Amino acid sequence: MNMSDPSEQPTPIEPPAPEPMPIGDPPLDPTTADPPPIGDPPSQPQPPIGDPPKSGEHKT
């Protein structure tokens, strides 16, 4: 192999590709999944702070 020939450069060692994410629902990881709230959970999910209520009532 001639190092001075750009067409014969040694193949760079590429790092191993990370495992592809599985298609569909990923398994629940206890380290990343949100833990259940302590106490009685709300009957319906709370809207994120900043979003207006979907009921249409305007809080004043």
Cα distances (angstroms) measured from residue 26 to each of 17, 18, 30, 32, 42:
19, 16, 12, 11, 25
With tokens 């990343």, the residue in question is 32
pLDDT at 45: 66
**Residues with pLDDT less than 70, the chain:** 1-9, 21-47, 51-60
Q: Position 43: which residue type?
A: S
CB atoms under 10 Å from CB of 10, counted, come to 7
CB atoms under 10 Å from CB of 7, counted, come to 5
pLDDT at 18: 72
Alpha carbon 25 to chain centroid, angstroms? 12
